[in-house]
Amino acid sequence: MTERLSVAVVGGGIGGLTAALCLVRAGCDVRVYEQAGQLSEVGAGVQVSPNASRVLHGLGLAEALAATGVKPLAWHQRRWDDGRTLLRAPLAEALEATFGFPHYQMHRADLLDALAAALPPGVVFLSHRLAGFAEDTDGVELRFADGRRARADVLVGADGIHSPVRQALFGPDRARFTGCVAYRAVVPAERLRHLGLEVTAQIWMGPGRHFVHYFISGRRLVNFVAVVEQDEWTRESWTDRGEIADALAAFAGWHPQVRDLLGAADETYVWALFDRPPLPRWSVGRVTLLGDAAHAMLPFMAQGAAQAIEDGAALAACLRDIRSPADVAGALTRYERVRLPRTSQLQAMSAGNKTRFHLPDGPDQEERDRQIADGSQAWSLNAQAWLYDYDADALVS
């Protein structure tokens, strides 16, 4: 193209900022419109696996990720009551040697800050709540709640599980409550020194619930997520306050390390876990979706953020070489065709892990543990090669 393709990204989270940075590197004129008055992420951890760090390193963020990210030594799966090891799959050097890029455990805010710092000035526009949009022959016009307007050749909805862009494209919908709620918190690592915690991602599995914890923020903090099955929930929120006493009661009888971690938190948030079935399509004309707006999934494969990061790389690759704005719709169809099968598979696998993690003690649990030990389940390193070795840019190119 003789003129730069203009792209409007609605949503300034991890997926939106990654897409923006990828698109800038691809030569596009990018604007990110975020409804909040500042870029921020909730106080929670995120796993950045090699399929995602490949993209981020390619964007020049290796030094920033190394400054705050933690490279876990292993996935460590354990029994809920006695702490017995079910699987210890090596990460750190072994993972990097196999796939070429590291696995990081990070605070979401640290990752968002790294992405924002890498963007050139004038790309991110805060306090812009999308009120609607309309496509015409020349592009897409965006309307914001305060009356402001903007135009672009392409509109990308990176606006989360409640995505107004998705609803405008495909009509109103409702997320599915998955029957699980999660208590989450971060705890100063100094407060937990007496536990002698390993630098691993530990997953404790038990009847009707599981518990995950790992270091973040240069090992200064420990992030935990305690997932409990529950019959109903009426809100979708990351910011509802929970009660430590309720979390402790839910994990009564569990290993002392789990209960010590729960009891060390000053506060916790309770987060109902929702997902949506895979969409049959993501794009209409010059408008498409990315991240949770396109493929909200349970966090039981630790791939929600990673898949949004992959989306950004794939989208930029599809738009990079088009010759005119008239080619946008075809490029977005290609993006959708490349990405939708993979994310749909991960949505299904994440949902399946709810059952596997929460089996009651008995024959099915014993068979699961046997499969974990022999490496035939999806959380073993050998079985993860298809996931970690993925190169979103190369597969599009």
Please list the active-site residues.
214
Instruction: Return the closest-CA partner of residue 19 out of 284, 206, 292.
Output: 292
Q: Residue 104 half-sphere exposure, CB side, CA atoms within 13 Å? A: 29
Contact partners, residue 37, CB within 8 Å, separation at least 6: 126, 127
Question: Which residue type is seen at 338?
Answer: V
Question: Tokens for 46?
Answer: 């995120």
Cβ–Cβ under 8 Å, residues 51 and 345: no
- SS3 string, 98-127, reads HHCCCCEEEEHHHHHHHHHHHCCCCCEECC
In three-state secondary structure terms, 42 is coil
In terms of DSSP H, where are the helices of the chain? 14-25, 50-58, 62-68, 92-99, 108-118, 164-170, 244-250, 256-264, 292-295, 304-320, 328-357, 363-373, 385-388, 392-396
Give the Cα separation of 119 and 19 in Å (integer).
11
Q: Residue 224: phi, psi to the nearest 5? A: -130, 150
Instruction: Return the closest-CA partner of residue 27 out of 321, 313, 331.
Output: 321
Question: Tokens for 244?
Answer: 């430590």
Which residue is it, tokens 């898949």?
Answer: 307
Q: Can you say whether the dihedral through the CA atoms of 108, 113, 114, 118 is positive or negative?
A: positive
Q: What radius of gyration, in Å, describes the C-alpha atoms of the chain?
A: 21
Q: Residue 195: phi, psi to the nearest 5? A: -85, -15
Residues 331-362 as b or e (16 or more Cβ within 10 Å = b): bbebbbebbbebbbebbebbbebbebbbbeee
